[in-house]
Amino acid sequence: MLKRQSLPLNDFLSNLESFDIILMRGILVTSLEAQTLTSSTWSHVAMVVVAGDFGLPGIDPNARLIWEANTADTAVDLISNTLKEGPQLVYLTDRIIHNYWKKFDGAYAARKLMYPRRPEMIDTLKKVVAETHDCKLPIVDGQYLELPYFLMGRFENKQSPEGTFFCSQLIAHTYQALGLMSNYYVDNSYVPADFTQDVDISLFNGAWLGNEIYLDTNTLPPQPAETSK
């Protein structure tokens, strides 16, 4: 049976616009557990930001960034210029290359947001970033609380404690602020699977997410020296 052809890295990146969705398929035990619990092949979700739209000084305006909640790793947060835990804005290529060669992720896909981009959307994004950037991942005494916070949101519609975000919660929070998703459900009631074709969240105002576009990982640059250690 024929499968959809994946895109080489340069084409994959150039096709992306701000507010598109990025999906990552983890291959660590924790990621596989999350994929099993949600009956999904994807375990992480992030949102594209074209650098020129956001206007960060000293950054190539054509660079594709992602807004995500993640661990403090080798993808430097471009707002604080540090490695930080929680909400962060990083180069998409840095995240992909690091995670792929570290064997954190095995596959990547994008979903295009089919909706007119308006200047006020960037203003809203900047406000969301300012309000959430200093938040952390939901980790208490070494225990990652994404699952209990999600279950609390999904089945009781109860908001998780302030000051923390997990990956899908941050993207839901951002889309809600943009007016693209209902505020009826709390932001911690969403998991990465909700942003995939399998579940496909209901968006407002005629907006919708396109089919998953896959990245051809065979076109990634060679393994960087720092990831071989």
Distance CA 105, CA 221 (A): 15
The reported pLDDT for the residue numbered 98 is 92
**DSSP E strand boundaries for 142-212:** 143-144, 208-209
SS3 128: helix
All residue ranges of the chain with pLDDT < 70 are: 26-40, 225-229
Residue 177, phi then psi, degrees to nearest 5: -65, -35
CB 77 within 8 A of CB 135: no
Alpha helices in 48-145 (DSSP H): 51-54, 92-101, 119-132
Distance CA 116, CA 118 (A): 6
The reported pLDDT for the residue numbered 87 is 98
The reported pLDDT for the residue numbered 29 is 39
Q: Using one digit for the tens of pLDDT, what is the confidence trace for 211-227?
A: 999 999 999 998 876 66
The reported pLDDT for the residue numbered 200 is 87
Distance CA 99, CA 209 (A): 25
**DSSP E strand boundaries for the chain:** 21-26, 44-50, 64-70, 86-91, 105-111, 113-114, 139-140, 143-144, 208-209, 213-214
The reported pLDDT for the residue numbered 220 is 95
